A and B are shown apart, each in its own frame.
Chain A
């Protein structure tokens, strides 16, 4: 299947001048290189947005602190949220999808390599545009630089009246531009998965990762389009005298909320479904068992995607909808718990009766299972509308969605980094450092986000640059901030491990985990165009079939 005769181009170009090599990266249309670019780009912004979060937490370490001014604080939380969602998690997931999907379905590249490059650069310039606001947004008004409207930018705060200068324009344009990139990538993923599978790979034999990314692609198209439309309307409001959201001229603030959350809720699943995909690849390999209930996993994913299109207004329980509307959105929101539960139980059943290898990728996935369970349960509490009237927009919500995004998505992402690092770099990471990273991050995560629920219950709203003493919030905020430093230390170990292992790590070989999907049949790193001979598969685990000719999977599927 694989061949060592093809050499990775980088090895040939080692002696060529750096400019030439850079030029190759900038003009590449190779899905693996673009995947790596996405990931590196996202890592850079992860550090930036992480520093922003650290400053936010230092400011909140005690009441009436004045580490930063209110203006700076408001920009920080806006930039932190926008960056993390649009320029860290989305691109890193796109990067992994780009790299892995063609390899795992036995294809030589994505369906549209040039569209792929175009999409990456749109996303990349979107991020640069956002940060250029720090330089360019003050304009002639001497108004504040950098957007300070919050990551969901509720109208009318974004109108010319309340947001002078150009910071909001940079925010809008950056999401508009990167949104075009996201839609391009989504189309590309869908086309690749539907049209480029190798012989024998029916839809029912695709790795779960491919299924989940297919679903994610569909959700991106459905979710990002209304966001893009809303951004264009906002630009029309701000520059062409439109009044869609301009409440002072009779526009509607509530319409913006609907537009935003019709994007915003499915977006949660755009982010979390690829995380499910990583867990669904890593957990079986490290449990030494086939995934339990493949068909149910696919069905659960697709139904989550469908239902997630009808729950957006659970972000708007406090805006004064009719009781009928509130009741509808309670029902649809709680309904999502059912397919999500199926997934958790199927992962559990995969572990059950296995032989767990507790190496770093698996450790992160196990922690993910526990944390995602808790995140799901706090999600149910928020879905009960009256409870939400208390908890909504409080630190409880902030804790809940960080439980999803950090405890769920980021943990599996770290798992994915360690799992596929040998494939991408050709070298093993350092296992001890990997586990140090895991424990530091686990401690930091729980210090920060477990205790963050409490001030929310005690009445602390989000997005406040400081707070009053005597409300019972002080101690919790102190603990939350302390946790941040453990997380930061974990990230440093992580980055060091990857960089060091890239140069010094043990050579990994093509299949260090004794895994079962096609990417492990290619060399590490895989050659350009991946497969000299396109593989043919007969089951969901082609490498299992080769390794166990006496008991192949295709007998049972």
Chain B
């Protein structure tokens, strides 16, 4: 191996290791609705602050040690043009070794203190008055939301009020699970917290801006873990209150046309009622999402598909076509029944 080629691939080595730099990563969050580096709520913001500090520290270590390694590899490679003697043997040095024990210890202590501070600031918070309470229940592949104080039950699309940083009105979530483990993760609002059966958890968010925030289940929970998506609608106070008022209405009972009343009959006479609730009807199942205000939602099946008549029809005929492995069975209904059912569901505003 000639000397020239050594240098060539050492240079190549550097080129390939460079992108690994942890420092390069923060720049890449642009244009993602789920970036952890675009916080819009206090917990996410304090995590962001801490993560910048941690990245700066480890980045600093990296910029010192990486070039040192690279330099020593280039500098001390065998040049083949001297005698074949062995280099001087050095067995160790107490001073040098002490130095690289003490410096890392100092770094670790600094990182630890900063981290402990942020842990306490996020975890040890009691709800102020004016905060909203929501019970989040994870189900195999969908989310149930209950607002105990507001007497609302809904699914998959969480609505919360905007919180003004000057007068915070945060939302506190109690996390439960009906079956397996799940995890609630909306990166722009907060870090994730797991939903574990028999192990209630708490977390909180106080979104500073209105809008739709996306996320998804972050703990493997079974076949359709991938399509257990999260949608958080952050609304200005009045809009949120309007939404609350609408949700508290019973189901739209007007069954004007015969198509709709026959759809309602199909719904009430099949197993739909065992799994779904529509308030104001006989249906009070809790295995599947509450459908009382189905049409107030933008999506169905935990964000797996937009809430359009075609998708509803497809879903009722064969849920596996949208979400293979979901816990809702295909009911084997006739086309006529499916159409009637869809027409009925579309009245549930």
Is residue A470 within 8 Å, beta carbon to beta carbon, of the partner chain? yes
Name the interface residues of B1-58: CB closer than 8 Å to any CB of A: 1, 6, 9, 12-13, 16-17, 19-22, 25-26, 28-37, 44, 46-47, 50-51, 54-55, 57-58
Contact of A253 among B25, B62, B181 (CB under 8 A): B181
CB-defined contacts of A290 to chain B, threshold 8 Å = 89-91
Asked if A386 contacts B69 (CB within 8 A), the reply is: no
Asked if A69 contacts B194 (CB within 8 A), the reply is: no
Distance (Å) between the CB of A365 and the closest chain B CB? 10
Q: How long is the Cα–Cα vector from A389 to B112 in the complex, in angstroms? A: 16
Contact of A288 among B50, B54, B87, B225 (CB under 8 A): B87
**Stretch from A93-101, A330-338, A410-418, A529-537 at the B interface:** A330-338
Is residue B202 within 8 Å, beta carbon to beta carbon, of the partner chain? yes
Is residue A425 within 8 Å, beta carbon to beta carbon, of the partner chain? no
Asked if A386 contacts B104 (CB within 8 A), the reply is: no
Is residue B345 within 8 Å, beta carbon to beta carbon, of the partner chain? no
Contact of B191 among A154, A253, A318 (CB under 8 A): A318
Asked if B22 contacts A70 (CB within 8 A), the reply is: no
Chain A residue nearest to B109 (CB atoms) is A334
Name the interface residues of B46-93: CB closer than 8 Å to any CB of A: 46-47, 50-51, 54-55, 57-58, 61-62, 65-66, 68-70, 72-73, 76-79, 86-93
CB-defined contacts of A294 to chain B, threshold 8 Å = 91-92
Contact of B119 among A252, A366, A385 (CB under 8 A): A385
Known: A323-B123, A370-B66, A394-B218. A337 touches B47 (CB 8 A): no
Q: How long is the Cα–Cα vector from A470 to B35 in the complex, in angstroms? A: 12
Known: A70-B324, A74-B223, A458-B29. A377 touches B22 (CB 8 A): yes
Contact of A377 among B61, B69, B76 (CB under 8 A): B61
CB-defined contacts of B90 to chain A, threshold 8 Å = 289-290, 292, 349, 353
Contact of A70 among B35, B179, B224 (CB under 8 A): B224
Is residue A367 within 8 Å, beta carbon to beta carbon, of the partner chain? yes
Q: How long is the Cα–Cα vector from A557 to B91 in the complex, in angstroms? A: 8
Is residue A357 within 8 Å, beta carbon to beta carbon, of the partner chain? yes
Chain B residue nearest to A392 (CB atoms) is B192
Asked if A353 contacts B197 (CB within 8 A), the reply is: no
Asked if A287 contacts B196 (CB within 8 A), the reply is: no
Asked if B108 contacts A337 (CB within 8 A), the reply is: yes
CB-defined contacts of A453 to chain B, threshold 8 Å = 22, 25
Is residue A450 within 8 Å, beta carbon to beta carbon, of the partner chain? yes
Asked if A353 contacts B88 (CB within 8 A), the reply is: yes
CB-defined contacts of B16 to chain A, threshold 8 Å = 442-443, 446
Is residue B222 within 8 Å, beta carbon to beta carbon, of the partner chain? yes
Known: A390-B47, A390-B187. A468 touches B229 (CB 8 A): yes
Asked if A464 contacts B225 (CB within 8 A), the reply is: yes
Tell me the count of chain A residues lying within 8 A, CB to CB, of chain B: 106
Is residue B284 within 8 Å, beta carbon to beta carbon, of the partner chain? no
Asked if A331 contacts B112 (CB within 8 A), the reply is: yes
CB-defined contacts of B69 to chain A, threshold 8 Å = 348, 369-370, 373
Contact of B35 among A157, A337, A457 (CB under 8 A): A457
Chain A residue nearest to B229 (CB atoms) is A468
Is residue B318 within 8 Å, beta carbon to beta carbon, of the partner chain? no
CB-defined contacts of A387 to chain B, threshold 8 Å = 47, 50-51, 54, 115
Is residue A136 within 8 Å, beta carbon to beta carbon, of the partner chain? no
Known: A319-B194, A392-B192. A154 touches B181 (CB 8 A): yes
Contact of B218 among A148, A355, A461 (CB under 8 A): A461
Asked if B196 contacts A384 (CB within 8 A), the reply is: no
Asked if B92 contacts A389 (CB within 8 A), the reply is: no
Is residue A247 within 8 Å, beta carbon to beta carbon, of the partner chain? yes
Asked if B78 contacts A358 (CB within 8 A), the reply is: yes
Chain A residue nearest to B48 (CB atoms) is A390
Contact of B51 among A381, A458, A553 (CB under 8 A): A381
CB-defined contacts of A69 to chain B, threshold 8 Å = 324
Known: A380-B58, A389-B192, A390-B191. A459 touches B122 (CB 8 A): no
CB-defined contacts of B36 to chain A, threshold 8 Å = 390-391, 457-459
Asked if A384 contacts B198 (CB within 8 A), the reply is: no
Is residue B342 within 8 Å, beta carbon to beta carbon, of the partner chain? no
Q: How long is the Cα–Cα vector from A385 to B34 in the complex, in angstroms? A: 20
Distance (Å) between the CB of A263 and the closest chain B CB? 18
Asked if A254 contacts B46 (CB within 8 A), the reply is: no
Chain B residue nearest to A455 (CB atoms) is B32
Is residue A9 within 8 Å, beta carbon to beta carbon, of the partner chain? no
Chain B residue nearest to A431 (CB atoms) is B1
**Stretch from A189-197, A339-347, A489-497 at the B interface:** A339-347
Asked if B65 contacts A154 (CB within 8 A), the reply is: no
Is residue A327 within 8 Å, beta carbon to beta carbon, of the partner chain? yes
Chain B residue nearest to A74 (CB atoms) is B223
Contact of B179 among A162, A389, A446, A463 (CB under 8 A): A162
**Stretch from B95-103, B150-158, B272-280, B286-294 at the A interface:** B95-103
Asked if B199 contacts A374 (CB within 8 A), the reply is: no
Is residue B226 within 8 Å, beta carbon to beta carbon, of the partner chain? yes
B183-226 Cβ-contact flags toward A at 8 Å (1 or 0):
10101001111101111011000000000001111111111111
Asked if B32 contacts A473 (CB within 8 A), the reply is: yes
Is residue B270 within 8 Å, beta carbon to beta carbon, of the partner chain? no
Q: How long is the Cα–Cα vector from A556 to B21 in the complex, in angstroms? A: 40
Q: How long is the Cα–Cα vector from A157 to B78 in the complex, in angstroms? A: 56
Distance (Å) between the CB of B301 and the closest chain A CB? 13
CB-defined contacts of B70 to chain A, threshold 8 Å = 370
Q: How long is the Cα–Cα vector from A242 to B72 in the complex, in angstroms? A: 59
Q: How long is the Cα–Cα vector from A156 to B222 in the complex, in angstroms? A: 11
Is residue B124 within 8 Å, beta carbon to beta carbon, of the partner chain? yes
Contact of A318 among B62, B66, B118, B194 (CB under 8 A): B194
Q: How long is the Cα–Cα vector from A377 to B115 in the complex, in angstroms? A: 15
Asked if A320 contacts B119 (CB within 8 A), the reply is: no
Is residue A352 within 8 Å, beta carbon to beta carbon, of the partner chain? yes
Asked if A367 contacts B219 (CB within 8 A), the reply is: no
Q: How long is the Cα–Cα vector from A330 to B123 in the complex, in angstroms? A: 15
Q: How long is the Cα–Cα vector from A348 to B68 in the complex, in angstroms? A: 8
Is residue B256 within 8 Å, beta carbon to beta carbon, of the partner chain? no
Asked if B215 contacts A355 (CB within 8 A), the reply is: no
Distance (Å) between the CB of B315 and the closest chain A CB? 17
Is residue B120 within 8 Å, beta carbon to beta carbon, of the partner chain? yes
Asked if A380 contacts B111 (CB within 8 A), the reply is: yes
Q: How long is the Cα–Cα vector from A71 to B87 in the complex, in angstroms? A: 59
Asked if A250 contacts B198 (CB within 8 A), the reply is: yes
Contact of B72 among A70, A295, A351 (CB under 8 A): A351
CB-defined contacts of A370 to chain B, threshold 8 Å = 13, 17, 20, 66, 69-70
CB-defined contacts of B333 to chain A, threshold 8 Å = none
Is residue A248 within 8 Å, beta carbon to beta carbon, of the partner chain? yes
Q: How long is the Cα–Cα vector from A507 to B62 in the complex, in angstroms? A: 42
Q: How long is the Cα–Cα vector from A384 to B185 in the complex, in angstroms? A: 18
Contact of B226 among A161, A247, A439, A464 (CB under 8 A): A464
Known: A318-B194, A354-B87, A453-B25. A293 touches B97 (CB 8 A): yes
Is residue A326 within 8 Å, beta carbon to beta carbon, of the partner chain? yes
8 more contacts with CB within 8 A, not counting A292-B92, A342-B101, A461-B185, are A295-B92, A341-B100, A369-B69, A370-B13, A384-B50, A390-B44, A392-B192, A459-B187
Jot down 19 A-B pairs with beta carbons below 8 A, ordered by A: A150-B220, A287-B76, A327-B115, A338-B108, A374-B17, A374-B62, A377-B61, A386-B47, A386-B51, A387-B115, A390-B47, A393-B219, A446-B17, A457-B35, A459-B35, A459-B36, A461-B218, A467-B226, A471-B34
Q: Which 7 A-B pairs have the closest CB atoms?
A: A389-B191, A459-B34, A472-B32, A464-B226, A320-B201, A247-B197, A293-B92
Interface residues of A (CB under 8 A from B): 69-71, 74, 148, 150, 154, 156-157, 161-162, 247-248, 250-254, 287-290, 292-296, 318-320, 322-323, 326-327, 330-331, 334-335, 337-338, 341-342, 344-346, 348-349, 351-358, 366-367, 369-371, 373-374, 377-378, 380-381, 384-394, 439, 442-443, 446, 450-451, 453-454, 457-468, 470-473, 548, 551, 553, 556-557
